[in-house]
Structure 1
């Protein structure tokens, strides 16, 4: 344990700053540690705020992870609430602080300084943006103001601007409170970390719960409505009346303090740090939403505001300050969100990013049950896996379903972190009992499908490329399934009679096979290839076709 008399000042609490302070105390009993937090709370669960607004969490105290008194009693850490750091003097190693309650301005010196001011909600410069009833959600006081507005104005209609994590969670929680919601998203899809076709179930769920969903339509301004409330005007010319507007269009790093001090910023506007979380000044570190992070897969520098990485960064900074050899390995964007009973989760890079970077990649779609089909209430999980066609290394994964989604993405996230391949997923030994999974878990199945494609046993084709693919489109589902809906131009030969009817299939054409979700298509592809046909399985079957078609991809 260090006996260093170091004086550590930390700007900001919540995830990064608070974890850095607590870790620092565990490494040194003699260091003086001060946290400056300009707000009234030093450590709170901001990911829980939508559920507090929605009355799922009814006790505000449940959101408080630790208060100033606990930091003092348990860790001997001086927390100064409503004290804002105004400037940094790097030459004298001092910060200027304003006590927001008394107005006093004072100086404090540091041996080491950690910047963790976080990020602030983006509030675009639009006409009427400052009208009463337009809110962003980032802090406990924000949630209080929204709750009070809902109660005082008996809100019946709300508009949520932005279809990311906060937008979707706020939509669900407002509906939970009996409020009619219109969700506006300027992009052509919700949940941008996902690829468009994977969001089709989310869209369907939103609409089925009465949400008015408008994609590809941006807000251009707000006006006071003649009947009361707010008129939200969009680029398409639509006007949506609302008693409440929630802005969920992202956050911007609070990097002004660092910029004014002459610290180097990255191209995205966040503070530039190295793997030790050190800034361009050797006595200053930065952690959390204010920093630019390196994508673990692509090595690009990005802004990815997530609580888990912020906590790890805080620990790394404390380790380095107190002499330990520690480094931050980057961020792979592992995320999960719940929306009306659906769980949506992802890790790593999406296909859009791989295309933008010009990377070669393979992909598979599958729709397995979350546990064996013979055990009651098996629910399908839609999974997309992206990987290197050279060695099978995992690039990313996305999944949507009702049950067991985050479990599978967590496994793939750990595999990705360790540089594993689809062949490793194929061999992964995972928990199995009928109510929890299958002997071939969905993770195994994803690995097997990808591995079979890489080995050439069952090559894959993809619906997004259907217009470019030349050959016979073969539907191997049963006749009733085919008649209920099929791809135009497909020939139907059910798998059950395929071997007896192979003479109907041209041997001089590429055969593109599909079934409902991919499994029968795989069996048919193998049978055809073993009989000399050039066959490929359309990944994910007719279910993926419908998702791709509905996404407009």
Structure 2
């Protein structure tokens, strides 16, 4: 069997090596249009920052090493430019020649390319870069060494944009981020992204959200935003998303779907016989709701590459889809998400409920425990887990990985308190934040608690709801108080019930939500109409700092 693989990174190389392990006698040819194969794409920003010292550390494998170990015919600088599906031929263009390559099976793993918006003056800009490959990082590094830029603009505040913003700060630059969406890190919901914005600002990064670059002037030295604001830039990074690289697939009349991605079935077969596709270029099923989507992440791409090799080798494998699990470090903070966001659920008109809990990375009484804010999204009657988001200095990856596993295993909210984790004070808590999120969600589902979200509070207060803050007086002095709140400390609440009006609905709040839940139960048991401010003061004051009185 002769198998040709187009694309030598992530999915393509995973397919090639798995194919060899299963088919010792197959002829396996890997075509890569760039100069490098199997490089660490996700490590590029950290090389710019200097955290990864050696450029060679980015190159996971070389063609020579792959030939020696796996007997793979790896051809860098070889671009497939046309596919004749009827003849089972690929036309390949190198620097020296153009030739035709036949195949029995063809795997497409072309990946994605940075989206470059059609902005006035961009074509003439000499200091604007994208970051997707080793040549990209080489160009950025060479520019920095030669020009010694002082001011940098990052356009786009997604994962790569934020990683590069941090990297450029570490290189001594004055960094500004411009993001078209209303907040940074659009995969997160607004209140969770607020923690990221706070961390960026604390490290000197200037933020412009809800704005796009309207034009570039003076060969990229001046960037004019939609509102007319003019920003100076010595170096600009464009990181406004990626598009699937499907131009080659189109030459073979392969069917495409959402955002132009390649359509494949459960065995990764395209609409053309004996042509398969994997990685960032394909349309996948969002496993949670079964809808078509694009998820450009390394882990699914590697899994898909292995699975398509299994399919071609006669093993029973199915493409079950992806849920989208990702994490980013922003200075001292980590932000991660899995599954669907609240915004996505709203757009899909799904019925859902939300709970925010605040926990610790390990036992609070053990030194250096760090706060974790965890958001869980679920169906209010079935308990189906839709997604989760978390921010914190430590332990965020562990909690989101657990919930991602729970989603993949089709667990429900009721299962989360049942999960048993290793516990010793340096590592965790007897009640892990994931357990606590499950308990809090169950309280909502079973009617023991009713919640108000941060974006509902102002309207509720205008409608006559009384905001009752049960924190201690010294907390109000040190951290501030929410506008319009009445303060009765939790430990005094039972003795001061007469001060709480029974003819008005009550919203209770504390610092994190634990004490306010206790207050909610006390008041409900005494005949009050009560709701709990989900996330409490800590969350609300982060996303709405203007509503805090000092």
TM-score range, shorter chain: over 0.9
From 130, 134, 139, the equivalent of 1:140 is 134
Could you say if the C-alpha distance between residues 184 and 550 of structure 1 is closer, same or farther in structure 2, counting changes exceeding 3 Å? farther
Describe the SS at the equivalent of 2:360. Answer: coil
Match of residue 433 from structure 2: 442
Tell me what 1:116 maps to: 109
Equivalent residues, number: 542
Q: Quick one: distance in 1 between partners of 2:79 and 2:545?
A: 49
Q: Which position in structure 2 is the counterpart of 1:546? A: 541
Secondary structure class of the residue paired with 1:65: coil
| 2:527 paired with 1:536 | no
The residue number in structure 2 matching 1:49 is: 44
> Superposition pairs for residues 127-276 of structure 1, below 5 Å?
127-130=120-123, 131-224=125-218, 230-276=221-267
Which string of whole-angstrom CA distances, capped at 9 and with x for unpartnered residues, describes residues 369-390 of structure 1?
2122211111111111100101
| Alignment counterpart, residue 126 of structure 1, candidates 115, 119, 126 | 119
C-alpha distance in 1, partners of 2:242/2:540?
34
Which runs of structure 2 are paired with 1:29-108 in the superposition (5 Å)? 29-100=24-95, 102=96, 104-108=97-101
Determine helix, strand or coil for the equivalent of 1:368: strand
Return 5+ residue gaps in structure 2 as ranges.
none
**Separation in 1 of the partners of 2:231 and 2:516?**
46
Distance 1:353 1:332 in 2: 13
Shift of 1:551: 10
Mapped to 1, the partners of 2:369 and 2:131 lie a distance apart of 36
Match of 2:306 among 309, 315, 334: 315
Tell me how far 1:15 sits from its aligned partner. 0.2
- For 2:485 and 2:151, the matched residues in 1 are separated by 46
Per-residue Cα deviation, 1:521-553 (whole angstroms, up to 9, x for no partner): 01111112222222221111111111332599x
C-alpha distance in 1, partners of 2:524/2:348? 34
Between the aligned partners of 2:148 and 2:48, the Cα distance in structure 1 is: 14
**What is the TM-score when the length of structure 2 is the normalising length?**
0.96
SS in 1 for 2:440: helix
| Residue 410 (str. 1) matches residue 410 (str. 2) | no
What is the CA deviation profile of residues 258-298 of structure 1, one whole-angstrom value per residue up to 9, with x for unaligned ones? 11211000031110111211111131100111111111112
Q: Distance in 2 between matches of 1:326 and 1:497?
A: 61
What is the aligned partner in structure 2 of residue 3 from structure 1? none
Query: In the superposition, relative to structure 1, how do residues 43 and 425 fare at CA in structure 2: closer, same or farther (>3 Å)?
Result: same
CA contact (8 A) 2:184 2:193 kept: yes
1:429 aligns with 2:425: no
Kept in 2, the 8 Å contact 1:121–1:252? The answer is: yes
Deviations 1:214-251 (A, max 9, x none): 111110111117xxx61111111111111111111111
Match of 1:373 in 2: 364
Conserved? CA contact 1:200–1:551, under 8 Å: no
Establish whether residue 401 from structure 1 lines up as the match of residue 395 from structure 2. no
Alignment of 1:24 with 2:15, yes or no, is no
Assess if the C-alpha contact under 8 Å between 2:152 and 2:236 holds in 1: yes
On the 8 A contact 1:312/1:328 being kept in 2, the answer is no
